[in-house]
Structure 1
Amino acid sequence: MRILDKYILKKFLSTFALILTLLLPIAIAIDVSEKIDKFLRHTDLSFNTIIKDYYFNFIVIFGNTFMPLALFIAVIFFTSKIAGNTEVIAIHSAKISFTRFLKPYFIGASIVAFIGLSMNHFIVPKSNKVFDEFNNAYLKKKEYNANQLTHVNLQLGPNDYIYLKNWNIDSKQGYKFSYEKFEGTKLKYKLLAENIRWIESDTVFKLTNYQKRIILDNRDSIQTGIILDTLFTFTPDDLVNVDDLAKEMNSIQLNKFIKQSRKRGISNLNTYLVEFHKRTSLPIASYILTFIAVSLASKKRRGGLGINLAIGITLMFVYVFLLKIAEVLGAGAETNAFVMVWLPNIFFGALAIYLYLKNAKN
């Protein structure tokens, strides 16, 4: 590695670490000001617990969230400075092409991408679990019960739906259960029960006070009973809030869960797929954002660092905006989650290629 590569790589990583270190205390300070009264309400909540269970995981989660922003600003910041000092002109005068100039940036982006991939796939899900448990225990409103779900709807397949008015996660028991099976738009079968309980040892559901209704062409067949043990293509885990469940599983667990759910016939898994694909697309964006930042900041221009930062922050806003839209649309049943999650990267990747070709010609 040349002295130039070491110089740029050192600037890359040190500026990135500095900006990330500056962003996190600001986020923590804002969060403390909003949460301090809630912390003080709980006399049993120690300072060590707040630091260990809440703010340690806060740093992991939000540090990972801020990484693309910190990376983009860092590259624009130090590249604008060396361009302003005419160092980039000197580099090009030494017959070093723009492509060769990008080599240390590529190495730096690879380091950040590797860190991001490791955190997204394995570290952040564990932090999300502890962070959410702390939130549910101490920061949610008192009337909120993390173990009690209400008005649960779940599509089991193209024509199969269930509904629960109430479900207790701990006892694995629910009330006012209904299962409906359609053919097209016509209801063909309906099963109602006052109570439904998961029997772990037998892996079956026990229904109490049930009613079966089979809709025929010219009449309905109705059967009632007290107890019915039956199988469904879902488990109690499928009833938990999908956003929380997806975020709290590492990628090996999440991929296994998606495969098992597909085997059970659950059709709409896009919420899980969005979370799974996002864990890879965001770190890979490190390359795209780095090349865009270098292309924008490597030329000395009127306004210098200020105008480069303004352009960079605007582009980051657009990227985050597109990412959020893609996540929402990708969770829909009729969309391709993989394509939607990668769409912002495709769009900004095209911009990066355009800027690279433009700079490589000069």
Structure 2
Amino acid sequence: MKILDKYILKKYLSSVALVLTLLLPIAIAIDVSEKVDKFLRHADLSVGEIIKDYYLNFIVIFGNTFLPLALFIAVIFFTSKLASNTEIIAIHSAKISFTRFLRPYFIGATIITVFALLMNHFVVPKSNKTYQEFNRQYLTKKKINANNLTNINLQLGPNDYIFIKSYIKTSNVGYWFSYEKFEGTKLVYKLFANNIRWKEKDSTFILTNYRKRFILKDRDSIEYGSKLDTTFAFTPKDLVYVDYLAKEMTSVKLYDFIQQSRERGVSNLNTYLVEFHKRTSLPISSYILTFLAVSLASKKRRGGIGINLAIGITLMFVYVFFLKIAEVLGAGADTNSFLMVWTPNVIFGALAIYLYFKNAKN
């Protein structure tokens, strides 16, 4: 790596770190001012718990959220400074092409992208889990009740379905249970029970007051009983389908959950798919935002750094706006979540390519 590459790469990484260091304390200060009264309502809540369970995870989550913005502003700022000091003109005068000039930026974007991918797929979900649990326990007025579940429909396989009228998670007991088995479109077996209880020790279910119905070619066969120990291809945790859980699963668990839900016939998984695809699309945007920022800031303009920053921040807010629209549309039942999540990157990627070729020709 040449001296020029080391110089630009050092500026790239240090500027990103500096902008993040400036943004996060502001975000924390605003959050403290909004939440301090809620913290004081809980006499059993210590300062240590607030810092450990809330603000440390706050830094991880919002630092990851601010990373694209910090990167874009940082690259525009220090590249504009290079241009205003005529350092870029000197670089081009030394027969260094615009493409070659971009090499350290590419290396920096790769470092940020790899870091962001690891954070998005593995670290941030764990922080989200602790952060949201703290929120639900101490800060949210409306508690999310995932204990009492009602009207549960679940497909266990291609031809197997269950229905539970209500299920209480704390006691692991369900009421008005039915299991249906089909051959093609024909119902061949049905099992009813007044109650179903999960026995964790043996990983079995206990049915009380059950009735089996076998649908044969020429007649039906019905069996009755008061108690039946049996197994099914699900556990109580599979009955919970709550959107906020998507952000609290690592990508491996989230992918497995999506695949399992598809096999069980869950109709709309787009909320989970948007979260899964977003964890890759946002880090990849580091390349797009870097090249876009360099292309915008590498020319000396009247008005200096301020003009470049104004243009850059405007473009960044447009990008964030597109991201939010894409997330909302992508979560709809009749949309392609992958296409929606990646659309902002495609649009701004095309703009970055256009500006790159425009600068490369000059």
Q: What band does the TM-score fall into relative to the shorter chain?
A: 0.7 to 0.9
SS of equivalent residue, structure 1 residue 68? helix
User: Is structure 2 residue 264 aligned with structure 1 residue 264?
Assistant: yes
Q: Write the distance in 2 (CA, Å) between the matches of 1:163 and 1:302.
A: 69
Would the aligned equivalents of 2:154 and 2:265 in 1 still touch at CA under 8 Å? no
Any residues of structure 2 matched to 1:210-229 within 5 Å, and which?
none
**How far does residue 180 in structure 1 lie from its aligned partner after superposition?**
9.8
**How far does residue 84 in structure 1 lie from its aligned partner after superposition?**
1.4
Q: When the two structures are superposed, what TM-score results if normalisation uses the length of structure 1?
A: 0.83
Q: Write the distance in 2 (CA, Å) between the matches of 1:311 and 1:209.
A: 70
Q: 1:20 to 1:175 in 2, by over 3 A?
A: farther
Any residues of structure 2 matched to 1:285-304 within 5 Å, and which?
285-304=285-304
Q: 1:309 to 1:174 in 2, by over 3 A?
A: farther
Match for residue 280 of structure 1? Answer: 280
Q: Write the distance in 2 (CA, Å) between the matches of 1:355 and 1:181.
A: 60
- What root-mean-square deviation, in Å, do the aligned CA atoms of Structure 1 and Structure 2 show? 3.6
Structure 1: segments with no counterpart, 5+ residues: 183-188, 215-221
Q: When the two structures are superposed, what TM-score results if normalisation uses the length of structure 2?
A: 0.83
**How far does residue 262 in structure 1 lie from its aligned partner after superposition?**
3.2
Give deviations 1:99-155, integer Å, cap 9, x for gaps: 011011111111111110110111111111111111122112276546445676778
Q: 1:343 to 1:49 in 2, by over 3 A?
A: same
Q: Write the distance in 2 (CA, Å) between the matches of 1:192 and 1:140.
A: 39
Q: Write the distance in 2 (CA, Å) between the matches of 1:181 and 1:333.
A: 27
Q: Write the distance in 2 (CA, Å) between the matches of 1:290 and 1:181.
A: 55
Q: Write the distance in 2 (CA, Å) between the matches of 1:30 and 1:317.
A: 20
User: Is structure 2 residue 64 aligned with structure 1 residue 64?
Assistant: yes
Structure 2 letter corresponding to 1:9: L
Match for residue 33 of structure 2? Answer: 33
Structure 1 letter corresponding to 2:21: T
Match for residue 83 of structure 1? Answer: 83
Would the aligned equivalents of 1:233 and 1:266 in 2 still touch at CA under 8 Å? no
Structure 2: segments with no counterpart, 5+ residues: 183-188, 215-221
**How far does residue 298 in structure 1 lie from its aligned partner after superposition?**
0.7
Would the aligned equivalents of 1:206 and 1:229 in 2 still touch at CA under 8 Å? yes
**How far does residue 166 in structure 1 lie from its aligned partner after superposition?**
5.3
**How far does residue 212 in structure 1 lie from its aligned partner after superposition?**
9.9
**How far does residue 287 in structure 1 lie from its aligned partner after superposition?**
0.3
Q: Write the distance in 2 (CA, Å) between the matches of 1:213 and 1:268.
A: 31
Q: Write the distance in 1 (CA, Å) between the matches of 2:190 and 2:317.
A: 48
Match for residue 353 of structure 2? Answer: 353
Q: Write the distance in 2 (CA, Å) between the matches of 1:105 and 1:33.
A: 38
**Number of positions where the alignment pairs a residue of Structure 1 with one of Structure 2:** 360
SS of equivalent residue, structure 1 residue 137? helix
Would the aligned equivalents of 1:157 and 1:266 in 2 still touch at CA under 8 Å? no
Would the aligned equivalents of 2:179 and 2:190 in 1 still touch at CA under 8 Å? yes
Q: 1:350 to 1:116 in 2, by over 3 A?
A: same
SS of equivalent residue, structure 2 residue 25? helix
**How far does residue 199 in structure 1 lie from its aligned partner after superposition?**
4.2
Would the aligned equivalents of 1:233 and 1:264 in 2 still touch at CA under 8 Å? no
Structure 2 letter corresponding to 1:309: L
Would the aligned equivalents of 2:155 and 2:263 in 1 still touch at CA under 8 Å? no
Match for residue 54 of structure 2? Answer: 54
Give deviations 1:266-315, integer Å, cap 9, x for gaps: 34333222222211111111000100010011111122222222221222
Q: Write the distance in 1 (CA, Å) between the matches of 2:135 and 2:312.
A: 34
Which deviates further from its counterpart, 234-243 or 272-281? 234-243
**How far does residue 328 in structure 1 lie from its aligned partner after superposition?**
2.3
Would the aligned equivalents of 1:288 and 1:345 in 2 still touch at CA under 8 Å? yes
SS of equivalent residue, structure 1 residue 291? helix
Would the aligned equivalents of 1:242 and 1:272 in 2 still touch at CA under 8 Å? no
Any residues of structure 2 matched to 1:19-168 within 5 Å, and which?
19-141=19-141, 145=145, 147-149=147-149, 167-168=167-168
Q: 1:160 to 1:315 in 2, by over 3 A?
A: farther
Would the aligned equivalents of 1:330 and 1:336 in 2 still touch at CA under 8 Å? yes
Would the aligned equivalents of 1:39 and 1:138 in 2 still touch at CA under 8 Å? yes
Higher-Rg member (1/2)? 2
Q: 1:176 to 1:93 in 2, by over 3 A?
A: farther
Match for residue 242 of structure 1? Answer: 242
Q: 1:247 to 1:37 in 2, by over 3 A?
A: same
**How far does residue 30 in structure 1 lie from its aligned partner after superposition?**
0.9
Q: Write the distance in 2 (CA, Å) between the matches of 1:129 and 1:138.
A: 14
Q: 1:147 to 1:356 in 2, by over 3 A?
A: same
Match for residue 219 of structure 2? Answer: none
**How far does residue 20 in structure 1 lie from its aligned partner after superposition?**
0.3
Q: Write the distance in 1 (CA, Å) between the matches of 2:159 and 2:44.
A: 49
**How far does residue 237 in structure 1 lie from its aligned partner after superposition?**
2.9
Q: Write the distance in 2 (CA, Å) between the matches of 1:319 and 1:212.
A: 58
Would the aligned equivalents of 1:157 and 1:267 in 2 still touch at CA under 8 Å? no
